[in-house]
Structure formats: C-alpha cells, structure tokens
Amino acid sequence: MRARLIDGFTDEGALEAARRLRAGDLVALPTETVYGLGANALDRHAVARIFEAKARPSFDPLIVHVGNLEKVSEVAELPTNGVARELASAFWPGPLTLILRRKPIVPDLVTSGLDTVAVRIPGASLARRVLNEAGVPIAAPSANRFGSISPTTAQHVLDGLGNDIDAVLDGGPCAVGVESTIIDVSGQAPTVLRYGGLALETIEARVGSVKQGVRILERPMAPGQLARHYAPKTPLRLLEKGCTFPAQERALVVVAGRAPEQARGYGVTSELSPEGNLVEAATRLFAEMRRLDGLGMAGIDVIGCREEGLGRAILDRLRRAAA
C-alpha cells in the first residue's frame, strides 16, 4: 500500500492535501457525493496519471472542481444571466455539475478535446477548503477503478487504488452517496446527462423543464453512459414486480421500505432505508453493494424504488450494475 492516509479532520490534513495537489500528486478527497481522485487540472502529467491509476479510457472527460464562483470563470464561460447562471447561483456549492463552454487554459486531456468542460463546486466544506487552499482547479473523477463501484469512504478508495495513488484525505463517509447530477447548459436547451445527487424535480422547479439526455449505450462517448458500469463482481439483477423469490445463496437489497414476507429465504437481506427515504437509500447504496460483493454470494437481487427524486439516480446505477 503506497497511498498515505491523511486525517481530514485536522487543519494540517487539509493543508497537506492542498499542498500535494498543487505539487502534482494524485490525492483522493471526499466530496458530499463520492470520493474524487484529484489532480491539478492544469498539470498535464498529473491528469495523465488519473487515467493510468483508474485504467480509464482517455476519451472520457473529467469534472473540474473549484472552491468558489469566482474560480469558475478561470476554466469556463459562466454567462451572467440565463439558466446556467440561475443553476449555479441556486445549487452551488452542491451535487450538481454543469457542462459549460471551456476556456483555452484547460488541457485537452481533461475535456477529451471537447469545446466544453464539466465544472462543479462541491458542497462538502472540507473539499472546498482544500480547493481554495490549493488555488488551482482540480480534475477529479470518482476514485474507483474504471467501471467499478464509486467509493463513499476513504477505505473504499484504498481498497481499489491504494497502490496507485499518492494519498487519500479521510473526511469520513460521503453524505449524499451518489455522483452529482450533470446538466449540459452549453447548448440551446438545458439537458440532463446524468441523474445524480440533486433531484431533477428540484432543478426543474427552479428553471423549468430540462431535456432528457441520459442514455444507456453499448458504445457510448462517455463511460457514464455505458450499459455496464458501477458494477459489483457478484451478478446483480433488478427484480420485476410479481417475481418469485428464490431461497438460495443470494443476497437481497431493498432500496426503499422493508423486505416482503415472501423474501424470507435469502441468505442476507439489506434494507437501504426501512422508512422508504430515498435520500437515505442513496447514501447507503454504494457501501452496501461493496459489502455484499465481498460476501461471495451467488447473486444479488434488488427490489427497486419509485422513479422520482434520488430514486432516478439509484435506479440508473442499479440498471447499469445489472447490465
């Protein structure tokens, strides 16, 4: 294990993470959504190491993280009015990524040569502290190997990437637990590209209806659109309504509410939110998938949830995990 574990609950920890990032190290850091694998976005070598560590195809563009609104304009064009500005003012800092027109300073490796760049001001105060101390924009994908489950604790990061990165800043478990919602505001109509930690309903209540651009593709432009993604090693399936439950060496996950009586036969049962709270279920989703994956069961069955609020992001991740 070569990654150094840095205590994010101390001042020195945040400062060390910032210093290392500025110097070109690969440092995983906690945001409110998932842990990101950070590198100085303006340092090509550091960014190239992200792709190496994740074993990620380099055509997939990265999200650039900054600590405050003034810093956004260093990397992207944020219009002074209109939908983009409205979303930025209403939901940053927070679990929202905006696709904006890029500034030339952003390396092609970060944007995959697109004329747009993904930008986010994270809600977690520790992340913003590090970003503001570092003083440079930080490119950060989720800190997991390509295609696998995103990390929501420092230990998850170490389990997957401990030998390939320089440090992990431990700020405890992530509060939201699924990745940010991505809205493309670079074109004519605002378009959702990924369901995530900010509910679409909340966004639409603010700026009106948003075009649907979430795709599940076999050969996509971006791995977030891949049919199979966010996947455990244990085969996972989403149960249909009215299915019969097998009583075998399988695990059952219930996203919202309690496991039905007829599902007593499962070896292991996990209720993500017995009260049916989708925010709580999202927070626990990835950690539970990892835990169950470690049990070596024959399969994982999942009883899904309503396609609304954070349920959209949860079902999106589960469908890709099941593909």
The region of 114-122, 240-248, 257-265, 307-315 touching ligand TXA under the rule CB under 6 A is 114-122
Binding track over 92-111 against ligand TXA, x by CB under 6 A: -----x-x-----------x
Q: For ligand TXA, give the closer residue by CB, 252 or 281.
A: 281
Give the DSSP per-residue string, 75-100. Answer: HEE--SSSHHHHHHHHH-SSSEEEEE
What's 124's DSSP letter?
-
The alpha-helical segments, DSSP class H, found in the chain are: 11-22, 44-54, 69-75, 83-91, 108-111, 125-134, 154-161, 200-207, 278-293, 311-322
Q: Nearest-CB residue to Mg ion? A: 142
Q: Is 142 in the site for Mg ion (CB under 5 A)?
A: yes
Q: For Mg ion, give the closer residue by CB, 56 or 250.
A: 56
Q: For ligand TXA, give the closer residue by CB, 13 or 196.
A: 196
Q: For ligand TXA, give the closer residue by CB, 120 or 250.
A: 120
Is 195 in contact with 311 (CB distance < 8 Å)?
A: no
The region of 12-20, 221-229, 261-269, 292-300 touching ligand TXA under the rule CB under 6 A is 221-229
Distance CA 148, CA 234 (A): 12
Distance CA 131, CA 120 (A): 11
Binding track over 274-303 against ligand TXA, x by CB under 6 A: ------------------------------
What's 55's DSSP letter?
T
Q: Let me know how long the chain is.
A: 323
Q: Is 117 in the site for ligand TXA (CB under 6 A)?
A: yes
Is 299 in contact with 251 (CB distance < 8 Å)?
A: yes
Q: Nearest-CB residue to ligand TXA? A: 224
In the complex, minimum distance from the CB of residue 193 to ligand TXA, in angstroms, rounded to a whole number: 5
Distance CA 247, CA 284 (A): 25
Closest residue by Cα to residue 70 from 128, 142, 139, 8: 128
Number of residues interacting with Mg ion: please give it, by CB under 5 A. Answer: 1
Q: For ligand TXA, give the closer residue by CB, 67 or 141.
A: 141
Interaction partner, residue 158 (ligand TXA, Mg ion, none; CB < 5-8 Å by kind): none
Q: Is 273 in the site for ligand TXA (CB under 6 A)?
A: no
Residues that bind Mg ion (CB under 5 A): 142
